[in-house]
Structure 1
């Protein structure tokens, strides 16, 4: 296993980490991700640890806390061998203080997560969304309190805009509070928006990326191709509306390129899509999910080899899209590109 620094911190994390959203699945979204019970989850954790994957990511909102509970049961007796990443801020109820990042909510949410996970500390706590109703100073001072109390080791964000991250980092630096070291982002060959703003920000400010949904919300599994109907068993039938939209022709163009590289390398389409991500700038870890052992072992096969520069260029070209203003001039005009060379693509 390759281990990388988590952003500009001293914490080392595996290049691939495991997403526990498939644990204890319930509800209209998470039941389609997976429904692993404690015994099944323990087996998946066994396989991960054998491969050197020791970082497990979850969130309080995943199946209303059930994911954290099952993960806590699956790692029981080996807490020192794993790193736990969890997230909070999204609604966990209908009450006025059941959502957000207020001091009241964060302290209660962390205590609840510790109880469900059966641990006394969280290695990486990430805010699942920006809370526009709570002052940034209140959020960061509370996170500082949690770090000083030993309940949280490192902090980060997910689904934040660039300006929201920069404002938070500036406030943290001004007061001497812990800076965010990780940004959990959606990034894939059919979702490259991360490259326009958040990737350069991460490189400049020392935020490592934890990539979620690296297979484009299940679109890059190798089961969807031009002229082929969506398989009946595909969870996209139920979950596509929850994720970022992808135009059919764009998807087919990317899959055609993946198929071509697969023919050259003998690797599977998911392995190629994951390997492409592992070579991108600022990436600390790519979160893989699995509902069974076969899927997990297949995804672990993305490690230990590298796409050639020519193959990367082929995938880059197939997945390229026109960036929005003010980013598109940097790619199209020599003067802008000279001052702001693109980091990827």
Structure 2
């Protein structure tokens, strides 16, 4: 039986490139109001507020959301929670991109009409005058980069947004670089925060993407740090996935995560976890915190107990040899990086 490390108060770390300080572990809220495949709401408002309380009690001050989470309920619940607190003590990040109205293609993407409409709506739900970071949730190849950056700069100039970020599913450093060149050439606000998928088994950003972020001095705040739950140890190499499991119906999850190569990585993770007397999830998060170029991973949780477990990862000090062992467990796209 593993004794989880004692959770300490979260510390602040620079949100590279912005002048802001972020909690060393950011809190992701994508499950707030989410209705799963069985029609159940994964996290209702009462539990959402309990999780936010637990995060704040642990010293957490950086909350990550998006305007589509829970169909907008997530932002409303965060806004209600913030109403009882000092807004200035918290950094709030939200995102825009996904289509929100059936039959209206202009309600998707980062065209000027959609961006201006969405920022007003999300600020209203959050009951705040501004967000600290506004991400584009995905890259929109239908919108010209010049139009995008000019529109986003207008939001910064108006005071409704402080900093700009790009949340990505696949490495696209060249698109961010091009957009930032356009912004700087025109005296507009550039992207300063990146939010890619990154964890022990999803290594696609290693190489050019991380090198670009380091060279440009951009913050990197990874999402899916536990590989959609794979790195928590809940799956067994030799056991069949239960027929009623959510992942049993997800071919993409099985093919992406339940692979021999990834289970090999998990064996290394388990070994390091045993050595430091922690859970696999905690060590997977600690590994990210030790990676050069990573600013602050985004952690989520279904329960307060899970959140406490995840936040305790900040207390784990892996040795250089342990970090190297985990890194070498699965090669990234570029050797030596």
Whether TM exceeds 0.5 here: the answer is yes
Q: Who is 1:218 aligned against?
A: 229
How far apart, CA to CA, are the structure 2 residues paired with 1:203 and 1:63? 34
1:296 to 303, 307, 311: 307
Distance 1:239 1:22, change over 3 A: farther
Distance 1:106 1:174, change over 3 A: same
Distance 1:27 1:63, change over 3 A: farther
How far apart, CA to CA, are the structure 1 residues paired with 2:24 and 2:32? 21
How far apart, CA to CA, are the structure 1 residues paired with 2:297 and 2:114? 29
Determine helix, strand or coil for the equivalent of 2:92.
strand
Alignment of 1:304-319 (within 5 A): 304-319=315-330
2:82 to 72, 75, 92: 75
2:151 to 112, 130, 142: 142
TM-score by length of 2: 0.90
Give the conservation status (yes or no) of the 8 Å contact 1:217–1:240.
no
User: Gapped runs of 5+ residues in structure 2?
Assistant: 1-9
1:84 to 79, 92, 99: 92
**Alpha-carbon offset, residue 23 of structure 1:** 0.7
How far apart, CA to CA, are the structure 1 residues paired with 2:19 and 2:73? 31
Q: Who is 2:24 aligned against?
A: 15
User: Gapped runs of 5+ residues in structure 1?
Assistant: 332-341
Q: Who is 1:187 aligned against?
A: 198
Q: Which has the higher contact order (CA 8 A, sep 6+)?
A: 2
1:118 aligns with 2:108: no
Quote the RMSD (CA, aligned, Å): 2.1
How far apart, CA to CA, are the structure 2 residues paired with 1:278 and 1:59? 23
**Alpha-carbon offset, residue 63 of structure 1:** 2.6
**Alpha-carbon offset, residue 232 of structure 1:** 6.5
Q: Who is 1:107 aligned against?
A: 116
**Alpha-carbon offset, residue 43 of structure 1:** 1.2
How far apart, CA to CA, are the structure 2 residues paired with 1:286 and 1:248? 24
Range with greater deviation from structure 2 (301-310 or 60-69): 60-69
**Alpha-carbon offset, residue 231 of structure 1:** 5.4
TM-score by length of 1: 0.88
Give the conservation status (yes or no) of the 8 Å contact 1:42–1:75.
no
Q: Who is 1:42 aligned against?
A: 49
Q: Who is 1:271 aligned against?
A: 282
**Alpha-carbon offset, residue 126 of structure 1:** 0.3
Query: What is the total number of aligned residue pairs between the two structures?
Result: 324
Q: Who is 1:337 aligned against?
A: none
Distance 1:9 1:123, change over 3 A: same
